[in-house]
Structure 1
């Protein structure tokens, strides 16, 4: 059985949410302002294997946001990739490792050279060290691939939020 107050609340809730100012980030799809802003970001080359993975992940996400445009922004990224032993067993062998990928990134406005964003993003993953050296190396490489995807997603989300805020402020 439903009470009249629950029915009234169900009618009023959509009206209250409509006035809160929430707007979809990617309104307008590929033609929206945020998608066009992301498509105007060029990723500078990044050193190393981790850099290659990161650059590909960033480029995939940025170009998927909208149609290719001339670059208005440049994204400079410096990576710190670390692999450290965590669990040392009684026979002095490593039983667990942690791979950490940190990115210091800057979004540079190419029209005036100003730095729009200067932040860091990072993620880490635990890796079991097994008796097969091949399996351990494969796990380390897979962890790096996953971390590059995760960090790239964090960077693109922050860039999208920043570009959206810049477009709404006069």
Structure 2
């Protein structure tokens, strides 16, 4: 016999049963189903990355090439065009007007284009930012700015590849 106010032992079991029933109706599918031979992986390998100017462009392009692979070997089916906006702003100001903190922001507007007909399939943006401490050594500050740019380029590439993969997963196999 259960005391009044004591917790029921059936409460957690019922909650677990409800959660199991809810998950059984879930329509989640793996994004990279089929591994390297799957639809999304093949579509990502068929993407050519347009050149991007500057150090930020080189870093983003290299990160994209690392993530997209280069296993197609044939003519690319898609072209990825990326425009970057790289900014550094000082926002921690001391009484003597010296900057003590900076924010580096990297934004990308990218378009996935069907290479055969020139139709824009996906037009989106990605962005990331990082805070940088400005220290007495100019060398250390420049090194921190460069390290931040490298990290931001990887973040942007991850966002772009995720969005392009999601686009291909939603549109289904290429005809």
TM over 0.5: yes
Distance in 2 separating the partners of 1:11 and 1:88: 57
**Which residue in 2 is equivalent to 1:68?**
72
Distance 1:91 1:123, change over 3 A: same
**Which residue in 2 is equivalent to 1:114?**
119
Contact 2:90 2:101 in 1 (8 A): yes
Larger Rg: 2
Q: Deviation of residue 13 (structure 1)?
A: 3.8
Instruction: Map residues 1-170 of structure 1 onto 2, 5 A cutoff.
Output: 3-4=9-10, 6-7=12-13, 10-11=16-17, 13-63=19-69, 67-70=71-74, 71-167=76-172
Residue 78 of structure 1 aligns to a residue whose secondary structure is strand
Structure 2: 5+ residue stretches without partners: 1-6
Distance in 1 separating the partners of 2:96 and 2:18: 66
Note the aligned Cα RMSD (angstroms).
Answer: 2.2
TM, length-normalised to structure 2: 0.87
Distance in 2 separating the partners of 1:115 and 1:69: 23
May I ask how many residue pairs the two structures share in their alignment?
A: 168
TM, length-normalised to structure 1: 0.90
Distance in 2 separating the partners of 1:95 and 1:35: 44
Q: Deviation of residue 84 (structure 1)?
A: 1.0
Distance 1:8 1:92, change over 3 A: closer
Distance in 1 separating the partners of 2:42 and 2:144: 37
Q: Over residues 2-44 of structure 1, what are the superposed CA-to-partner deviations in whole Å (9 max), with x where a residue is unaligned?
A: 8356445545644532322111111111111111111111111
Structure 1: 5+ residue stretches without partners: none
